[in-house]
């Protein structure tokens, strides 16, 4: 049944309080499983009261509609509860990947003019280091201290204990801003894709039509809540329909994951190609240990799903994997495979009913089937981002000739199936995470020994792409193992561990064109041993 938003369009309300009204109060909203295997169930009633309590925490601290709140936590119950609580109060609610380093945090918190953040003690020093550059930041709430450290560094449990469990969610308009996710481009700083509360309509619809979840299903989405899949499908879509979910604290672990699928009787599983490719390294016999009879199907998102993975899953698990395509900006699945539709291994499937996607050339002309071009979507769907926060100009530049330009290239076959071809920019997709070469290059240039840097993504069997850096070092500097370690550590601390180059090459100078732009195409050709193409305009 389509979600009913007539009484209130608030995401926090629809995922919790409304579920209690329609009879799901005693149903398990999620089973939390920690790294030691400890299990704790949260009913929809508990999710509702705890998130209301957190809404009161923020309200008592003086926050009101439109203020910006961020979670900066690993997967945790506090992340989920505070996320929904903040939405109940109609704050702009951002989530940050827990691996982010100082520069990555500063770019995002600074651009968003964040006022309040929830995090943990061991992450505090990263925030303290940049706090002076964040004049709007008023409160830091720590989930693992018993008492407040100061008027601005406060204890989650103490604040929660003092807060009421009843909170009246004010009538929220469909267009009221809701979730803020930052995404990396190939140039400039990361951009904050802002969504509105009505995005829940699409997350709910795709959960019904594509993931095809049913009331008694047990759903598990492995994505981290720092990214769009983790919020759209690890929180909103399933709970808008009152579906029970599994939330597991850990990352990839073949043994733990299959134990979970079997013991928790997961019926629908949403994961990523990198994880599936890692599973393919296990011996076939490993999979005989688990009873997967409850598992109906597997979905995947974030990077191309190679046909071999689909064929492997059919052979070894006896299941189909359905590839889905979407982006931070689209907020929900746009193109996908789904049960009931023939899978063409290697294709992303077809657009969702009501979504018009097309392949166009650089002038906006529609291209015929079989021809590669820009993947575009006709604007107007409910989960479409409403702006890039404090960056309206770049937002507008994404819309041309009546289309939203996704930045991906693809082609359509004669049956209307879409086939992903690549990115039209230099953004690197490593293990389903977009990494900006510019961010890594900037972090590298902060190291005094490095004179120039150029960063590219190159094909990788497991990660789809890996980050590779080319650098030139200053005269009289020797490239040593210690310096290499220093470089890696620096990028990890400043950007994130996923952005840390897997390979670093020291070269005499970085190829640039006459206007000083780094020619990543040339670096890539150099790496791949390919023809360098026309380099007549290059300064090399
Ligand atoms: P993000 O905004 O970080 O979620 O990344 C979105 C990008 O990931 C898309 O623009 C694609 O480049 C890539 N992507 C997402 N899903 C798929 C898919 N099913 N196949 C190929 N690439 C994908």
CATH number of the structural domain spanning residue 485: 3.30.300.30
Identify whether 102 is part of a domain: yes
Distant-in-sequence, close-in-space partners of 88: CB < 8 Å, separation ≥ 6: 10, 12, 13, 16, 51, 52, 55, 167, 169
Edge-to-edge strand order for the sheet containing 335-336?
39-43, 28-33, 244-248, 218-221, 268-271, 297-301, 321-325, 335-336, 350-351
For residue 348 and ligand 1, the question of a CB distance below 6 A is answered with yes
37 with 99, same domain: the answer is yes
Listed in sequence order, the residues at least 6 apart from 434 whose beta carbon sits closer than 8 Å to its beta carbon are 183, 184, 427, 428
Do residues 198 and 174 make contact, with C-beta atoms less than 8 angstroms apart? Answer: yes
Domain span including residue 83:
11-409
Residues 186 and 266 in one domain: yes
| Residues 503 and 362 occupy one common structural domain | no
Looking at residue 152, the DSSP 8-state letter turns out to be S
331 lines ligand 1 (CB under 6 A): no
408 ligand 1 Cβ < 6 A: yes
Q: CATH number for the domain including 66?
A: 3.40.50.12780
Weakest-pLDDT range from 207-211, 317-321, 474-478, 532-536: 532-536
159-199 residue pLDDT tens:
999 999 999 999 999 999 999 999 987 778 899 999 999 99
Give me the mean pLDDT over the 97-103 stretch.
95
Range 221-234 burial, b when 16+ CB lie within 10 A, else e: bbbbbbbbbbbbbb
Q: Residue whose CA is closest, atom 15 of ligand 1?
A: 302
User: Considering the domain boundaries, does residue 484 fall inside one?
Assistant: yes
- 329 and 193 within one domain: yes
Shared domain check, 444 and 394: no
d(CA 412, CA 107): 37
Is residue 404 located within the same domain as residue 488? no
The alpha carbon of 266 and the centre of ligand 1 are apart by a number of angstroms equal to 25
Q: Is 455 part of a structural domain of the chain?
A: yes
Q: Are residues 230 and 275 in the same domain?
A: yes
Q: Is residue 275 a part of any domain in this protein?
A: yes
**Shared domain check, 282 and 215:** yes
In terms of pTM, does the model score above 0.85? yes
Q: How many domains does the chain have?
A: 2
For residues 377 and 385, give the distance between their C-alpha atoms in angstroms, rounded to a whole number.
Answer: 13
Instruction: Find out whether the beta carbon of 337 lies less than 6 Å from any atom of ligand 1.
Output: no
What atom of ligand 1 comes closest to residue 323's alpha carbon?
A: 19
Supply the DSSP string of 245-302, one letter for each residue.
EEEES----HHHHHHHHHHTT-SEEEE-HHHHHHHTTS-GGGGGGS--TT--EEEEES
532 — pLDDT class (breaks 50, 70, 90) = low
With a 6 A CB cut-off, is 336 part of the ligand 1 pocket?
Answer: no
Atom of ligand 1 nearest to the CA of 348: 19
Greatest alpha-carbon pair distance for the chain in Å reads: 72
User: Is there a single domain that holds both residue 471 and residue 358?
Assistant: no
Judge whether 227 lies within some domain: yes
Q: Is 183 in the pocket of ligand 1 (CB under 6 A)?
A: yes
Is it the case that residue 394 has pLDDT exceeding 70?
A: yes
| 288-306: average pLDDT | 96
- Determine the pLDDT at residue 537: 47
Q: From the CA of 193, give the closest atom in ligand 1.
A: 2
Q: What is the mean pLDDT of residues 347-365?
A: 97
Q: Do 402 and 436 share a structural domain?
A: no
Do the beta carbons of residue 381 and residue 335 sit within 8 Å? no
Residue 534 has pLDDT above 60, yes or no: no
Contact 387, 395 (CB under 8 A): yes
Distance 410 CA to ligand 1 centre (A): 12
Regarding whether 441 and 361 lie in a shared domain, the answer is no
Averaged pLDDT score across all residues of the chain = 95
What percentage of the chain reaches a pLDDT higher than 90? 93
One domain, residues 173 and 49: yes
Q: Is it the case that residue 515 has pLDDT exceeding 90?
A: no
Residue 486: Cβ within 10 Å count:
13
> Would you say the C-alpha torsion 478, 483, 484, 488 has a positive or negative sign?
negative
Q: Which atom of ligand 1 is nearest to the CA of 328?
A: 2
User: Which residue of 180, 328, 434, 464 sits with most ligand 1 atoms within 8 Å of its CB, as the best mutation to test the pocket?
Assistant: 434
- Is the CB of residue 271 below 6 angstroms from any atom belonging to ligand 1? no
């Amino acid at each position: 049944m389509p979600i009913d938003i007539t009484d209130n369009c608030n995401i926090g309300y629809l995922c919790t309080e409304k579920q209690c009204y329609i009879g799901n109060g005693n149903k398990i909203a999620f089973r939390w499983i920690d790294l030691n295997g400890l299990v704790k169930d949260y009913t929809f009633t508990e999710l509702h009261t705890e998130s209301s309590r957190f809404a009161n925490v923020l309200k008592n601290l003086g926050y009101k509609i439109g203020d910006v709140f961020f979670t900066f936590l690993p997967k945790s119950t506090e992340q989920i509860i505070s996320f929904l609580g903040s939405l109940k109060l109609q704050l702009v609610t951002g989530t940050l990947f827990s691996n982010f380093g100082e520069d990555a945090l500063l770019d995002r918190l600074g651009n968003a003019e964040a006022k309040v953040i929830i995090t943990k003690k061991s992450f505090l020093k990263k925030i303290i280091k940049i706090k002076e550059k964040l004049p709007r930041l008023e409160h830091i709430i720590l989930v693992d201290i018993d008492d407040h450290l100061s008027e601005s560094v406060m204890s989650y449990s103490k604040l929660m204990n003092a807060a009421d469990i009843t909170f009246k969610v004010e009538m929220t308009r469909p267009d009221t801003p809701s979730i803020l996710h930052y995404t990396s481009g190939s140039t400039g700083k990361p951009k904050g894709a802002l969504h509105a509360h009505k995005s829940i309509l699409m997350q709910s619809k795709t959960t019904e039509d594509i993931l095809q979840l049913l009331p008694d299903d047990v759903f598990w989405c492995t994505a981290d809540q720092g990214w769009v899949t983790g919020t759209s499908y690890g929180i909103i879509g399933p709970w808008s329909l009152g579906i029970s979910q599994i939330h597991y604290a850990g990352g990839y672990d073949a043994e733990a994951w299959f134990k979970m699928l079997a013991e928790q009787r997961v019926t629908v599983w949403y994961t990523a190609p990198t994880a599936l490719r890692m599973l393919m390294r296990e011996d076939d016999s490993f999979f005989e240990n688990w009873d997967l009879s409850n598992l109906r199907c597997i979905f995947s998102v974030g990077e191309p799903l190679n046909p071999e993975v689909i064929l492997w899953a059919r052979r070894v698990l006896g299941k189909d994997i359905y590839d889905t395509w979407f982006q931070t900006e689209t907020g929900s699945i746009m193109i996908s495979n789904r049960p009931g539709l023939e899978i063409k291994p290697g294709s992303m499937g077809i657009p969702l009913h009501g979504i018009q996607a097309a392949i166009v050339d650089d002038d906006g002309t529609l291209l015929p089937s079989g021809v590669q071009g820009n993947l575009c979507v006709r604007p107007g769907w409910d989960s479409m981002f409403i702006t890039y926060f404090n960056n309206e100009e770049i937002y507008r530049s994404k819309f041309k000739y009546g289309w939203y330009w996704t930045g991906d290239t693809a082609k359509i076959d004669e049956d209307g199936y879409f086939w992903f071809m690549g990115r039209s920019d230099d953004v690197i997709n490593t293990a389903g995470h977009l990494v900006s070469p510019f961010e890594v290059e900037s972090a590298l240039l902060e190291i005094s020994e490095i004179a120039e840097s150029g960063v590219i993504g190159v094909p990788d069997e497991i990660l789809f792409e890996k980050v590779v850096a080319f650098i030139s070092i200053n005269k009289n500097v020797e490239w040593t193992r210690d310096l290499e370690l220093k470089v890696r550590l620096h990028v990890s601390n400043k950007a994130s561990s996923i952005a840390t180059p897997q390979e670093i090459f020291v070269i005499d100078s970085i190829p640039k064109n006459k206007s000083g732009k780094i020619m990543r195409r040339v670096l890539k050709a150099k790496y791949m041993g390919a023809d360098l193409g026309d380099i007549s305009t290059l300064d090399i």
